[in-house]
Structure formats: structure tokens, C-alpha cells
Amino acid sequence: MIRITDILDNTQSYLSADELEMIQKAYIYSATVHQGQVRLSGEPYLTHPMEVAGILVDLKLDAATIISGLLHDTVEDTLATLEQIEKEFGKDVAFLVDGLTKISKISFASQEERQAENFRKMILAMSADIRILLVRLADRMHNMRTLRFQTPEKSVYIAKETMDIYAPLANRLGINWMKMELEDLSFQYIAPDDYNELSKRVAKTNESRHRYTEEVKSIIRAEMNKFAIKGEVEGRAKHLYGIYNKMREQKIDFDEVYDLIAFRIILDTDKDKSCYEALSMVHALWKPVPGRFKDYIAMPKANNYQSLHTAVIGPYGERVEIQIRTKPMHEWAEKGIAAHWRYKEGRAYKGTEENQIKKLREALETQYEIKDPKEFMSNLKLALFPEDVYVFTPNGDVKSFPKGATPLDFAYSIHTDVGNKCIGAKVNRNIVPLKYELKNGDRVEIITQAGHHPSKDWLKYVVTTRAISKIRNWINVEEKKSSLALGRELLDKEFKRNNLKLGNLIKSGEIKKALDDLKQASLDDLISQVGFGRLSPRQVVNLFLAVDEEKKEETITEKAKKKTDQTSPMGISLTGIDDVMVKFAKCCNPIPGDQIAGYISRGRGITVHDIHCPHIKKMDGERVVDVQWSVQEKNTYPVHIKVICDDRKGVLTEVSSVISSVDINISHAQVDTKDMIATCHFVIEVRDIKQLNKIISSIKQLKFVKSIERVSKYQASQEI
């Protein structure tokens, strides 16, 4: 049993001495008025308010809430009065206790009526103060923990009510542990046989599960160390009701539920990006199961829950579920509204929490006018799951969709083909447009037509991930088909204009060079990129016209770069991560001062690109990370510049001496002359963009210089 010293010990870190004294006073008051009362368990009644207060302390709630927990049954069950409580503990506490008393005071003939009225009261009380609901939840939590002392009929009734109303409420407020514990406790009473069998089966596999959990955890930890990702790894068995639901929903046996354990990486940071970095680490380690990745960071759940969820093929070929989140996200996932919830004077809530409470309150308040208790209860349930819409198939089966779903979502939930060929729908026997928003209770019938196909517009109407991915997939395949045809046509023309034959280059295998240079995986990719307009036909043809010059530019920059690679550290820092493997992208060759971004390559560290580099723009955005230059004075970076000037004696020497005069090394110099024009190539070692710009403007001062450019491979002539 929890003691008052425990409560005081656990609150002294965040409450004032005056508040602690008030809590102690409430304890003595509660002990005095409940004196002589016993619970069905035979324990003194005081244990109940104490345990309730203990739960509120775990949620780190304020003093008034904890005091209300200690006093929540005093006005209803003892001789204590509200006036006394106000006198002893102040208006705030009296207000909360009053709300709690009202919730449970009125009793009605039928259970349904009683329940409905209770919740009506609860809503009224809640509109005034969310803390009343939190005390009520804690109250129910302890009653559920001690439910075995009730009569069987009563315990089933209370368990059902808990499953119907309180567990969803805890979920709605984002207090995950409370939701799970309430569900497991209710499950035990509502379906005792199923509960017992399942818990026996889970217990039987305890030992091997423990061994397996430790193994997976240590593999993940080792990988995190390797990439210097800081954080904790947890592996916990799912709660029984969760497993039970899964078995029922997917119609599978216990032995077929592979993912009994949910693994969790809690990163030691508050940066969202780190989660994506950890995700790419996990996906590099184990193959992801397609379609199982969920990004609740970009798209938080209705209760503000944030995390990345993925499933991978684990060390034994089994399916492993992994959640990745930052510490603040974890706090929210576990404690929900209570996590960041700080009660301010004048009853003000903060930011998202305020919004969250407001939304819930509004949803519940609109139900207040409904007089019929049955209707009220079913409406209340809908209010607790506002994100779901329940509709019927023509056979009378129920399907649930997120709010905002349309007949297209419905069609894709039946079959991809039904979705792709959908031309319309009947809702309750009336034809509706495809963008019609499904409403609760709608009976939906899909109309299809052979040969019909999706259009891009459809993406505006669907909300389910399944429909979105199926439509995208169709569009991608179609676009690729047509872009292949177009790309081929454009390339053929451009090659012909330059007296080359694309067909021959393909046959001889020479085309492979273009694939490497333009970073395309296959010929089809290359052609469709041209068709999409992402590559110009000119770019491809150029590779076969200016073979020599291209080769030269590549080698001189790279040769120079190899030198620096060996001698100096990279001068790149990645926010929150040290010691990552870093290399510079060959395509854009950035130097300090350039805006840069990193790309996480699987198992090969981070490649740093210029932010404007067309390659990084095309890459998987999830794996792009922020990187910063952390330049040390001694680091230099090779840059290729091209100076075009009048062809006269000694140009190379003059330009070289300008460069050398500011103490910059030239690692390569070369001059080509043609038609009275000299083209000089230099690879110089600069510290940063400032130094580069300085040297460029000095060279520009030379009278014979016509133009000067910084050369990067992706853009043959970039103006500076």
C-alpha cells in the first residue's frame, strides 16, 4: 500500500513546501472522515483515495489535483461538506471535489440511464476543468485494479463500462499506459476464458521471448553505437488485449502472432530528423516489410501521438515491429495530456494540449442536448473516436475509415481493381460524386466499369494510405510508360542531329557510360528521366561528344581531392551526431560557405552535396539530413575554376601568380588555346567560398580575362 511519505517524496521535486504541507493536511483530513470505513477487500477505505492520489502523482499533476484525489469520495461518502473543504483547502480544490461528487451522485433506475447521466455530468464538469476527468480516470484505474472483490455481475458491468468509455478516454488524452492497463483489466472480466488461455500461452513462452528480446536489443544497440546514435532500446511484450484484438481482427491463431514484442528506440534528443536517421539505420540493418512504415511524426495521430513505426525482417527471418521516437515524443506517448500539462493560474492551458482538450470537449458537448440515454451513449462513443467513420457494405458488413474518407477509399479497401475501375458510387441508394465524404451508417455500393482507370485528381479525394499508394502506383507505372516512349523519341532525334545513333550505342554497350555519369540505374530509367524532362537530351548526347574534356575535368578534381582526403579531416558536423563517415559528393564538390545537405547512404555514412545539386534533389527526402561546416583553419578544399582569356604570352603564369600571391596552392594547372582564346583550368586549394570569391575577383581584374567560372560536374558552366 502506498504511504503518504511516498506521495510527498515523489512530489517534492516539483511542488512547493506549502503545497506539500497542504497534501499532508488533506491526507489527515481524508483519514479522519473515512475513519472506520472499509472497502470490500477488507482494507481501510483510506487506501483507495491514497492509491488514486498515487496515480495522479505518477502523472506529475499539480497539488490541487492530488489533493482532490485524496478527497474525491469525502463529500459523497462521509459527513464532510463542500463548505468545510473550501474553508480548509481553498476554492480550487472545492471546485474539483464538487465536480467529482456530481459525477457519481445521481443514480437512475436503469444502468444505461445512470451511465448516460453520469457522462452528461462528466461533460459538464469537464467543460469547467480537465483535471476532474484525470482524477476520475485515476479513480476508475484503482477500482479496476481491485475489481475482484466485487460481485461477478457488478464487475462485468464495470469492466464493460471501462472498456467502452474510460479506456478510449485515456487513449483520447494520450495516456497510453492507462489505456492499456484499463483494457487488460477489463478484458479479464469481460472474457475471462479467453483472457486466461491467452495469458497462459504468453507465460509459457516467457523465457524464450526474454532471450530473444535481449538479443534483438543488443543488435540494435551495437548498430546505434556504430553510428553514434544516442538513445535507449526497449523491447516489451504487447498488452494482452492488443494481442487478442490482433488475433480476432486478422483471424489468426496465437502461434501466428509473430510480433508479440514491440521494440522501441527512444533517442536522446528532441530533433525529429534524428528519428529518420535511426530509421535508415534500422532499414540498412534489416529489410523493411513493405507497406508497414508509418510516419506519425509528419502526420501525428488525433491524440497528438508522434513516432515512426516500421516492421522489418529480423535476425531469424521473423517480423519485428520497431517504433522510433525522441524523448519528448516518448513522454507524450506515455503520459499524454498529463505530460506537458501544467496548470496555470487563471485556468489557462498551453498550445496543443489546449487544443486537444478543446476538441474533446466540443465533441462531447455537442452530445449534451440528446435526451435519449441510448442514443446519447452511442453518440458518446462516436465522439470518443472522432477520427473514425463506420459504413456498411451492401452485404451489411461494417468497415471503418478515417474521417474524410470517400467512396474511392471504400473501393480500394475492397480490391485494387475495384478502386482502379471505380466510376461512381451509390450511398444509401443515391448516386454520389467520388469526392463525397462518407458518413456514419452510410451503405456504400461501388460502380465500376471495365477499362476505366485512375486519374491524378483522385489523390485529392482519398485519405487512406492504401488508396493513396494504389493510385500513386498506377500513375507512376502509366507515367513511366508514356515517358519512356517520349524519352526515346527525344533522344533519337537529338542523337541523329549529332550524327550519332542511339541504337548503336545501346548495342555496343557504350551507353553504360551515360548511366554511370548521370547516376541512372538502368537504360529505361535514363530514357524515362528524359521523357519526364528531368534530364535534357542534350545532356546525354554531350557525354558522347565531349568525351575527352569530360574525362579530364573529372580526373583532375578527383586527383586533387584524394590528396586532401588523406591529409585533412573532413570539416563537417552533423547535428547531434559525431564521428560519422563523411564524404563529399563528386557531382557538386561543395566547399565551406556553400549551402550543403547530407544524404545518408545505407551503411556508408553521409555524402555531402551542394544544396542546389540536382542529384540530392532527386534523392529520398527522408534520408536527407542537415549538416554544417565545422571548419578548421588548416582544412582546404579543392575547387576547379576555368578562366577564359585572350591568348597571349604568359597568361598561365600571370593568373598563377595572382593565385599564389594570396597564398593559395594550385594543385593543377593547364591551358588550351584555340582561335586566339585561351582556356585555363586550375584546381586550387581554398579554405572556403569567401576565399574563392576573393581570388575570383582578383583574377577578374586582369585585363585579358574574359570570364571566370567555378566548374562543377553537374553544371558545366556555373556563373559565379
What are the Cα distances from residue 694, in Å, to 494, 685, 698? 40, 13, 6
**Least CB distance to Mn ion at residue 143 (A):** 6
Say what angle helices 63-71 and 130-145 make with each other, to 10 degrees. 50
43, 58, 76, 565: the catalytic one is 76
What DSSP designation does 164 have? I
Q: Is position 234 annotated as part of the catalytic site? A: no
Nearer to Mn ion, 37 or 697 (CB): 37
Rounded to an integer, what distance in angstroms lies between the CA atom of residue 558 and that of residue 564? 10
Task: Classify residue 61 by burial, with Cβ atoms within 10 Å: 0-12, 13-18, 19+.
Answer: buried
Please list the alpha-helical segments (H only) found in 509-636: 512-517, 523-532, 537-545, 547-567, 614-618
6, 77, 259, 295: the catalytic one is 77
Nearer to Mn ion, 149 or 368 (CB): 149
Nearer to Mn ion, 19 or 76 (CB): 76
Rounded to an integer, what distance in angstroms lies between the CA atom of residue 269 and that of residue 267? 5
**Least CB distance to Mn ion at residue 56 (A):** 12
Nearer to Mn ion, 73 or 277 (CB): 73
Nearest partner of 122 among 136, 107, 141, judged by Cα: 136
> Which of 136-144, 257-265, 268-276, 707-715 is the region at the interface with Mn ion (rule: CB under 5 A)?
136-144
Give buried/exposed letters for 217-254 (b at 16+ CB in 10 A, else e): beebeebbeebebebebebebbbbbbbbebbeeeeeeb
> Which position's Cβ is nearest Mn ion?
139
Rounded to an integer, what distance in angstroms lies between the CA atom of residue 640 and that of residue 85? 81
Q: Both ends of the chain: CA-CA distance in Å?
A: 75
**Least CB distance to Mn ion at residue 200 (A):** 32
Nearer to Mn ion, 7 or 684 (CB): 7
637-646/705-712 β-pairing: antiparallel
Q: Is position 77 annotated as part of the catalytic site? A: yes
**Least CB distance to Mn ion at residue 161 (A):** 14
**Least CB distance to Mn ion at residue 76 (A):** 9
Nearest partner of 610 among 637, 642, 635, judged by Cα: 637
> Which of 139-147, 219-227, 445-453, 600-608 is the region at the interface with Mn ion (rule: CB under 5 A)?
139-147
Sign, Cα dihedral of 624, 630, 632, 636: positive
**Least CB distance to Mn ion at residue 215 (A):** 44
Set of cell numbers at residue 312? 522489418
The values of phi and psi at residue 475, to 5°, are: -60, -45
Rounded to an integer, what distance in angstroms lies between the CA atom of residue 476 and that of residue 488? 18
**Least CB distance to Mn ion at residue 166 (A):** 13
Nearer to Mn ion, 73 or 494 (CB): 73
Binding residues for Mn ion, total number by CB under 5 A: 2
Rounded to an integer, what distance in angstroms lies between the CA atom of residue 642 and that of residue 632? 27
Sign, Cα dihedral of 142, 148, 149, 154: positive
Rounded to an integer, what distance in angstroms lies between the CA atom of residue 438 and that of residue 446? 13
| Given 139, 183, 184, 685, the residue binding Mn ion (CB under 5 A) | 139
Nearer to Mn ion, 73 or 409 (CB): 73
The interface with Mn ion within residues 56-95 (CB under 5 A) comprises 73
**Least CB distance to Mn ion at residue 48 (A):** 6
Rounded to an integer, what distance in angstroms lies between the CA atom of residue 673 and that of residue 134? 82
Nearer to Mn ion, 118 or 528 (CB): 118
Q: Does 51 bind Mn ion (CB under 5 A)?
A: no
**Least CB distance to Mn ion at residue 265 (A):** 38
Nearer to Mn ion, 53 or 518 (CB): 53
CA angle 629, 634, 638 (to 5 degrees): 70
Any idea which residues carry the catalytic annotation? 76-77
Binding site for Mn ion (CB under 5 A): 73, 139
